[in-house]
Amino acid sequence: GQQVMQIPQYQHVQEGEDFTTYCNSSTTLSNIQWYKQRPGGHPVFLIQLVKSGEVKKQKRLTFQFGEAKKNSSLHITATQTTDVGTYFCAGGRANNLFFGTGTRLTVIP
């Protein structure tokens, strides 16, 4: 069954609005990774978080790993049309990587 849940499944935002996707696991993770897949493309690694409560930023993207290492979020500030795509989280545990179902982001210009 699905080890990592991700919400929402779809998100439509107006360009300039913020966007957040959430990832939840029923078990403690050793690390969390985030990937972006553009329409028609393949997943591309964005970042990895390892420490409890860790927060990392990449320009307009902010990634958080929960204190209990069971949840994570990706927040995009002031979305742009180039942010369009599906964002996947992937939780690592016992040498396995469990992908969330992804959040498909549409940005309306």
Partner 1 sequence: KAGVTQTPRYLIKTRGQQVTLSCSPISGHRSVSWYQQTPGQGLQFLFEYFSETQRNKGNFPGRFSGRQFSNSRSEMNVSTLELGDSALYLCASSPPRPGPGTGELFFGEGSRLTVL
Site of interaction with partner 1 (CB under 8 A): 30-31, 33, 35, 41-45, 48, 88, 90, 92, 95-102
Kindly tell me which of 20 and 99 has the beta carbon lying closer to partner 1. 99
Our measurement of the distance from residue 85's CA atom to the centroid of its chain's CA atoms, rounded to an integer in Å, reads 11
Q: Are 52 and 68 in contact (CB under 8 A)?
A: yes
In the bound complex, what is the minimum distance in angstroms from residue 53's beta carbon to partner 1?
A: 18
In the bound complex, what is the minimum distance in angstroms from residue 9's beta carbon to partner 1?
A: 10
**Ramachandran region, residue 27 (left: φ > 0; alpha: ψ -120 to 50; beta: rest):** beta
Residue 4's beta-bridge partner residues?
Answer: 25
In the bound complex, what is the minimum distance in angstroms from residue 75's beta carbon to partner 1?
A: 21
